[in-house]
Structure 1
């Protein structure tokens, strides 16, 4: 039943909706008319449905656009040629065919151009036909904009053809929607499955494998298939930043064996923030059953993954960056459990060193009591001298290598 319904829905959509591969719905283009004009007039309805269902309306647009191009060339080009011929200095008149976006029109725009001084010259007949351009309310647009009766008539016919084509496209789309309305649940279900399947296929078969990613090893459940109350250990071998391509040789590999909370220090630019982002991404991808940017990975069944990076102030709320940081970390600490992964970058960076060291120490003690896995990076080296009561925390430092002196 589901297969038959899916087949019917797919067939009906394919019969009506344009798949973007047809060559008969390109946006109209003519040499002397700005491309932006045709794009604005046609992009909202072209390429939505197959042309065969609105052939007459589409053909009318094509004919009206061609007629407009012909009239624009006949009425404007002789004037432009004459203007270019006499240009000799910055004070000379200038003219061009322009798109008046606010008025959805193609007009002649002349700078320092006065029609009545061009008598007895080539293009005289076209100059005599010029009149000031007016907007939809009958008001003169400006001193530089000109049009002709024939151009305005051609513009009106083109706009009318576009409106008819747009209405026809909307009619077809509404008809298809009404026909499939009672099958909307099936349509949403199938679309969701297809999106997930396509994402998985692209993730596993192409990009992830090419970049050296691997499927993680699933931590075993208890005999009763119950998740343990605490996260025992996470092991990431050959971990590298997910935004780098391992095959290009520009990624630094790291081994992370985490069975407790880490307090991490290291020099600026030493990779602390990259490490936190990499661990967070690997854990999130792993528990979702996706490939991980490492050569091997053992990832526990986390109940939550919480990452806190740099906080910024909010003048509109009257809050400093430190206030926002403390608010976010309070929410993080209050929700952390023994099965959480907690990652905090540059803790208490928004306040002075002494107070920041004490606050950071109390946060570390609290997370140590919770028993979660995680990494807290810091430049507050005074933390290591505090008399903290810790049983589930290790102090770590980023490795460094001196290159070229």
Structure 2
């Protein structure tokens, strides 16, 4: 048979495959990208005894393929001569070594015949559709397609093939969300790193691959799949690595990259903002460099930019703001007769009266002050004021900033943008020395009476957590199941240090309770033999649904960047998630989903959530 030697200059590797048929060799030439082709002089000496290779039948197909390309003849030891020519072509030092990544062809099936490869479209042929485009999802492109194509053209040994099949079977049955499986060209990354030309985007891709490996390692379902993929990865890369070594190296490299590059979650690299300067100005000036490298490495540069931005804001403020304020005050209907600026400070507005009516009085006062153009600041713990239908134009909401120190939420005494409906009463009481038993009892009373507030964020004791018209028999198995869910919801403590996690927990509790009660109602009406259980699964940023959701009816809730919820149902969850995230600003949108028996049920629960979630403050 024939032998082909492949040298990859970027990776500094080479491999040899022998025992190939002429068709297999032609197939490889047609499916691989080679910048330089060298033919050994041994090809000239065929069985016909002539040096005019390919003229008498044997080797004719290969000769036709090679003669259509530019090639050079060489002689001597194939491996040594080829490596010498590669070093010469790329001006590499003689001391540069190439690693042998040859995988033994023993017990390996024969490659596909050229005709078969052409007929299934594995080799691009005009007029013949590609089988892979029919079998693989439409969004599967690039490196994954190339890998599957190579498996078809050059089937691996039975041991490797069995591991790939086992991994696929396990993946089709996982119930947890799975990584996005970032695909990057190893040769391209090595070249960029070698030339020191890798930018923030490339390092983010590397870190994504590493973090996805670590995510699989930490998940019991995905960890078994990761172990099965070790041998196929060895065959594909020629690099055999111990499993524990892979994990430890991924942890180290991911940590090192994380120490250098900036991630999306860092809040200390936001664009400069000043109320009197258009945000587009700072976007144009800072977007090209902020959010690339961690701030700790560029403190001097950040400080210089902040000083410049503050100086610009101060200059505008000193020149224009006094004039603008004077004009506002003099043109206001209730402004002072001599044009004085009207400024009001109110602390704990309407605190000394009944909560509901005091909230409405406070809202009326704030609305009036806004109408007359009054400047000022109003503080309150009457959270219901944020739900009043006030007609205002100039109101800006501010809240007290908090931070997590040693597992406890503490105020920073700094104003931040946004609305805060959490007073940290229990945390403050604990910090002031109130006995822990009293605080625990207070929490129990709070969740028993104001359970709805834990979900909706409202402070309205007249609202009830559960519908009053639902009759539940405690002896019934379904009722017991529902009771467990209710108790879990009431006693669940939210970690205020992470607002996003708190919000998702609230959404999950609300969705579970409402949908489980709906299923229980249908269970009683239809008398079905088994009550379906709502099992919510979260899909975080850079994750996707497991393959087990394909073709299954599901209901999902998406958290938009504006903190609003989107509810939908689908039989193609992966496609729907991909469609949502393809929109501007939605790339990292998280999802919550659960599977239901049938599309009809999914539509009913979708309608239920759309109608009921707003009543719970979402």
- Which structure dedicates a bigger proportion of its chain to strand? 1
Structure scoring higher RCO (CA < 8 A, sep ≥ 6) equals 1
TM-score, length of structure 1 as denominator length:
0.24
TM-score, length of structure 2 as denominator length:
0.17
